[in-house]
Amino acid sequence: MAVTLIVGLQWGDEGKGKITDLLAGEMDYVVRYQGGHNAGHTVMIGDETFALQLIPSGVFYPHIVPVIANGVVVDPKVLLEEIDALETRGISTKNLLISGNAHLIMPYHHELDRVTERYLGKNKLGTTKRGIGPAYSDKASRVGLRVQDMADEKIFKQKLEVVLKEKNAILTKVYNRLALDFDSIYHQYIKVYAPRIIPLMANTVELLHNAVKENKNILLEGAQATYLDLDHGTYPYVTSSNPTAGGALTGTGLGPRDLTKIIGVAKAYVTRVGAGPFPTEIEGDLAELLTQRGREFGTNTGRRRRVGWLDLVMLKHAIELNSVDEVALTKLDVLDVLEFINVCVGYEIDGKAVSHVPYHQSELHRAKPIYQEFSGWRCDLSGVTKLEEFPKATKIFVDFLEQYLGVPVCLAGVGPRRSQIIDLAS
């Protein structure tokens, strides 16, 4: 039995979906444990590219049971559209299961996300405006509706009546928006969504614990990443859930001792979407070059990502937060054309050298990176298939990362395809 967790170590978009897809072939279950359709996982199989939002990456293997666990917030419309899109392209979703305890994203969540972000103006958080934050807020406030509520029309109606009255009061009296119609929401969720989603509903906590007892192999995948974590990220520029290892446990119901391996995924440089501190951010021609070579645009939103040099200070802290056993390093090939490569090994804050992530947010905003420069390899890595084929400069770069981070780099990505991931451990 192996329960493997894949966690992002930066601000997301590290290539978790690709690593999940690579390892999924050995698994029996692939489980999504938090987030919503604000996160996109891109998987390239042959010449085909698939952009997933809610469905776990293991869906491409017919023997796998893909599970959307209790920590996820689900927009039924998006989920059904994703199912239909995969089925149309010949990918079966017949094994998909959804936790009855997963919370639903409702139309008022979308509306509140849009208007609150607009009212924040220059102080906006940079959300995807897809209702994720408001859905998690309702979950914490104990007024959320869950997938299992759609199986009981009476319960769903009672809960919707109470919460919609409150949401409409906020929308009309605070934001001067039109009230949402109860009947149309009720009909859409109970008559349109429920007949297709309720047959997929399962007690996924019991399911996964039974799988552990039966020595099945389970892969846990989250959305976003460590520095978007609600508790440990660059607050308030974070997501509304916990993408870290602790969140994988609450989001699935598995226990700490069930985890057997934790793989952290990081890019060979860094990106982030939206507002927030970014000590190693770069601009100008170099930023444009990395953006285009790395195709740094959101999978779902198309938003351009900010880019910067690899930050080992933040990366090491993320490894500690998640008890990472090994690192998968992606997009090494994006750096192929560079004459030199910078890596942040510390910060200067108010004239003092600092070797750790600042605890106070104001200090992080003032942090100036201290770089160590490496020679670029100036050659195409896309055809490399094993460690021995790496140029000397690439080996030096990877060796330094391992020494600084204190954990091995087990996988290296040199291109977008499933076949372009090198197993360094073997």
Q: Where in the sequence numbering do the catalytic residues fall?
A: 13, 41
Closest CA to 318 of 371, 263, 399: 263
Do 266 and 407 touch, CB atoms closer than 8 A?
A: no
- How far apart CA 19 and CA 373 sit, in angstroms, is 28
Do 249 and 209 touch, CB atoms closer than 8 A?
A: no
- How far apart CA 128 and CA 114 sit, in angstroms, is 9
204, two tokens: 């996924």
Q: Which ranges of 28-131 would DSSP assign to H, the alpha helix?
A: 76-88, 107-120
Do 254 and 1 touch, CB atoms closer than 8 A?
A: no
Q: How do beta strands 310-311 and 340-349 pair?
A: parallel
- How far apart CA 226 and CA 245 sit, in angstroms, is 9
316, two tokens: 């090491």
What contacts 254, CB < 8 A, 6 or more positions away?
A: 3, 208, 209, 212, 218, 220, 248
* Residue in the structure block whose two tokens are 């493997």: 4
Q: How do beta strands 340-349 and 352-354 pair?
A: antiparallel
Report the DSSP beta bridge partners of residue 344: 311, 371
307, two tokens: 């880019």
- How far apart CA 61 and CA 45 sit, in angstroms, is 12
Q: How far is CA 396 from CA 46, 204, 390, in A?
A: 31, 44, 10
368, two tokens: 């100036």
